[in-house]
Chain A
Amino acid sequence: MSTNKRDYGDLLVLMALAAFTLWYLLDAIRVSSAIQNLLLILPLSLVVLAIVALEVGVRLKKGTLLVREESEGEPLHHTLPVVGLFAVYVLSLQSLGFDVATVLFIAAFLVLKGERNWPLLGGYSLAFGFGVALFFSQMLPYPMHMLILPG
């Protein structure tokens, strides 16, 4: 039985789903134990917890508790920087504005993925970033925070 680090992840996800379900059920009960509040949540949560228990039981029986059966996965060290960059982009929208944050995100992504044609990199980041930000700010009925362009 393989017990490398990646295999623990599958079990962790399973436990996280069970934990979320349990937490949500308890929170719903805390808010109100009226039938109107729990009519769907209570039976559904119990079904989810039962499925988790069944899945764990099946895996224990097969001896595959820590073995991931299927992988569509890709090397984590290739994906994590992209996820991180996207997170920084979203979280910086409020401070940098949609225009500047978008230009910087596109430029940083291109650099990360090996683009070294600097005029193309700069031109595309500026044109697409400012273009899209301007398009949405004109189309949407709410104000969009911008640093340079009109919001």
Chain B
Amino acid sequence: MIDFVAVEQGLALLFSSFSPWMVVLPGIVIGLIFGATPGLQISMAMAIFLPMTLYMDFVQAMLFLTAIFTGGSFGSGIPAILMNIPGTSSAIATAFDGYPMSRQGKHNQALGIALVSSVLGTLMGYLILFVMIQPLSLMVLKLGPAEMFAVILWGMTLIASLKGEQVLKGLMAGFVGLLIGTIGFNELGMARGTMGQTYLLDGVPVIPAMMGMFAASELFKLANKDFIVESKASRKVKVSGIFEGFKLAVRYPWVMIRGGLIGVFVGAVPGVGSSVSNLLSYVETQRRDEDPDSFGKGNPKGVVASESANSTSEAGSMATLLALGIPGGGATAVMLAAFAMHNITGGPQFIRQQTDVVYAIIFANFAQVFLLLVIGLLFIPLLANIIKVPMRYLIPSVLVLAVMGSFGLTGNMTGPVTVLVFAVVGWIFRHYGYSVPAAVIGMLLGAMAEKSLLHSYQISGGDLSYVLERPVTLLILALLLVSLFGKRLLGLVRGRKQAASA
């Protein structure tokens, strides 16, 4: 599995000169800033700084871009924890428990947990990638649209049923979200649900919609509060609290390992990636926990589950990029552009012929995570001061950032107007107990779900027995059923056993 000659060459590539490392530090800082600023995206940071990689060699360029990726993955969790605004879709589940922790005055611990989970998650992801890059590349080749649709369905159903007591409302919000995600041009080039508006032809801009539903609607709710954390004593930023978070995170190794495995494998599915993996990991952790009702109310395991999964997804999406030349999402799409700028094509041949370069990228990421730990520790106390800002100053400032960021994403007024519309929708959903995360994930995955279902239909010719020939699809569907009914079945079996023994 491991080519040791290439390992040696990879190490030589990294350590023969200091120049590859000079870009890592600025890369992580850029990623942190862009990830932590609501409205700015990791992919946006990478795209903005992509032209700079023209002046770097390929390894250095990859180190720079993966450093932005690594910094951004953790950075996006910071506003999710402090303001309930996931910097990117990969930090949605981080907000579920991170934000309630902040409101309880445990923001230091939540940020510490997020940092350690990100660091260990990234480390775990690249370790798995190091050992399994070649088998993983073969596995990814076997994934088709049917598997993608099954993964989406799994993620959707789980997230929609998160709020145990309001499953029907959750499912409704999720499925309506999926429908909204399909608005715009279909595969035949015909537009649906646009009401004649040209700005909807490409669909509803999902990230601005997410900002509106998550951030703006939550801020409306908090408009009458004086501070995020009401108690003055709890608003202190303490490095000791961050270290407490470190200890809390490592107390749940299985949550982290499960999140890591989900992150790598779901992250490797093109187009799905960390947006789904953080949610799957969160839901699985909640489902298996002895006290599932404590989730969503500030359970540290929720933050560990989400952050470990979204950071390992980076390694998963890198596997797909390196092994197949297929970008898993926006960030890896920018990396693909960097590949092209250096006349390199990803794929099985690239892995075979340039294994040393692949290993060099992996090893560099091992080092990056330790740098992230140090830089993160320096940044957190600065950023955590946000909770000391009175809400009357914080709310308009964050709303402005969301509006400007959404303009940056669309390049016209579509972004800000989408934020406004979905802020109102999100506020109504919250008010009446509909699942906002389910609706957002639905919107995020709607177009992808339709495309993968359509491609499966085209490949199979409409023959349902095609699914029976896809073992991975069957496995995912089985996992879906186990996730939904496993606990209930287990309870039934146990009940019968107890009845029989009594």
For residue B400, which residues in chain A have a CB less than 8 angstroms away from its CB?
A: 102, 105-106, 128-129, 132
B416 touches A90 (CB 8 A): yes
Would you call B216 an interface residue if the criterion is a C-beta within 8 Å of the partner chain's C-beta atoms? yes
Return the contact of B182 from the options A41, A79, A133, A141 (Cβ within 8 A). A41
Interface residues of B in 404-453 (CB under 8 A from A): 404-405, 407-408, 411-413, 416-417, 419-420, 423-424, 427-434, 449-450, 453
Nearest Cβ on chain B to A81's Cβ, whole angstroms: 8
Q: Are A51 and B172 in contact (CB under 8 A)?
A: yes
> In the assembly, what is the distance between CA of A124 and CA of B417, in Å?
25
Q: Which residues of A contact B224 (CB under 8 A)?
A: 74-75, 78-79
Nearest Cβ on chain A to B42's Cβ, whole angstroms = 15
B386 proximal to A (CB < 8 A): no
In the complex, what distance in Å separates the CA atom of A74 from the CA atom of B417? 24
Contact assessment for B179 and A41 in the assembled complex, using a CB-CB cutoff below 8 Å: yes
- Determine chain B's interface SS by DSSP, over half rule: helix
CA distance A79 to B423 in the complex (A): 12
**Bound-complex Cα distance A88 to B405 (A):** 18
CA distance A82 to B221 in the complex (A): 10
How many chain-A residues does the 8 Å CB contact rule pick out?
Answer: 66
Q: Does A2 contact B (CB under 8 A)?
A: no
Q: How far is the CB of B143 from chain A (nearest CB, A)?
A: 20
**Structural contact, B220 and A136, CB atoms closer than 8 A:** no
Is there a chain B Cβ closer than 8 Å to A126's Cβ? no
Q: Which residues in chain B, 94-113, are within 8 Å of chain A measured between CB atoms?
A: none
Kindly list chain A residues whose C-beta atoms are within 8 Å of the C-beta of B192.
24, 27-28, 31, 37, 41
Instruction: Looking at the assembled complex, report how far the CB atom of A85 sits from the nearest CB atom of chain B, in whole angstroms.
Output: 9
How far does the alpha carbon of A140 sit from the alpha carbon of B404 in the complex, in Å? Answer: 10
- Contacts A17-B176, A24-B192, A32-B188 given; does A110 touch B431 at CB 8 Å: no
Give Cα distance in the complex from A36 to B186, angstroms.
8
Give 10 closest A-B pairs by Cβ, nearest first: A113-B392, A109-B396, A142-B411, A70-B433, A40-B450, A136-B404, A82-B223, A90-B420, A28-B192, A106-B396
Which residues in B have some Cβ–Cβ distance to A below 8 Å?
A: 48, 165-166, 168-169, 171-172, 175-176, 178-179, 182-183, 186-188, 190-193, 216, 220-221, 223-224, 391-393, 395-397, 399-401, 403-405, 407-408, 411-413, 416-417, 419-420, 423-424, 427-434, 449-450, 453-454, 457, 462
